[in-house]
Amino acid sequence: MKKEALHKKYSLKKKQDSFVLVLYNDDVNTFDHVIKTLVEVCGHDEYQAEQCAILTHCKGSCEIKTGSGEMLQSMCKALRTRGLKSEVEGYL
């Protein structure tokens, strides 16, 4: 019975957080700018923002936030306004 309850809870969480905000690497922005922007826009702490910046640089992109499409679209717009390449993708 506990497994069913946990499974249902996970399923509800998955539906609510059905989108992901992806940051893409570029050759323009500095690490400091990316880190500062992730802290201000996405609510990351300094360490988390630094790790996302490093992963983005090394792999070309990084999933930086999950959540509702509306919330992530707003964050994506703010990141783009600050010169960062980003996109909201669904888990479908």
User: Which pLDDT belongs to residue 66?
Assistant: 95
Q: What is the pTM of this model?
A: 0.80
Residues of the domain holding 78: 27-90
Domain count, the chain: 1
Q: Is 47 part of a structural domain of the chain? A: yes
**For residue range 19-67, what is the model confidence (pLDDT) as tens digits?**
999 999 999 999 999 999 999 999 999 999 999 999 999 999 999 999 9
Q: Is 20 part of a structural domain of the chain? A: no
**Following DSSP, what letter does each residue of the chain receive, concatenated?**
-HHHHHHHHHHHHHHHT-EEEEEE--SSS-HHHHHHHHHHHH---HHHHHHHHHHHHHHSEEEEEEE-HHHHHHHHHHHHHTT-EEEEEE--
pLDDT bin (cut points 50, 70, 90) of residue 5 is very low
Count the Cβ atoms, other than its own, within 10 Å of residue 16: 10
